[in-house]
Amino acid sequence: MADVASSRDAHDEAIPTYRDAKAEVLEAFHRRYFGRLMKRHSSLSAAAEEAGMDRKHLRIMLRRCGLWSR
């Protein structure tokens, strides 16, 4: 019976909108991915090449994640 009550409580909680939940997951992914990428490379050009991205776009993404301040 305890499982039923705890399930019911879990369903009563408000959940974020699809858009907000997706944005949260994407932000976490970007921080992890670009953080790992920049730990491997001291050069923005080398990091962009490994990621298959243009340097300019990588720099924009790093700024959005708070990983680039130059």
Indicate the pTM of the whole model. 0.74
**pLDDT value, residue 9:** 58
Number of domains into which the chain is organized? 1
**pLDDT digits over 46-69, tens only?**
999 999 999 999 999 999 999 988
Distance, C-alpha 22 to centroid of its chain? 10
**pLDDT digits over 26-40, tens only?**
999 999 999 999 999
Percent of the chain with pLDDT over 90: 76
Range of the domain at 44: 17-65
Token pair recorded at residue 49 = 């090449």
**pLDDT value, residue 69:** 83
Residue 38 placed within a domain: yes
Residue 55 placed within a domain: yes
Q: Distances from the Cα of 60 to the Cαs of 19, 38, 39, in angstroms?
A: 22, 14, 17
DSSP helix/strand/coil, 28? helix
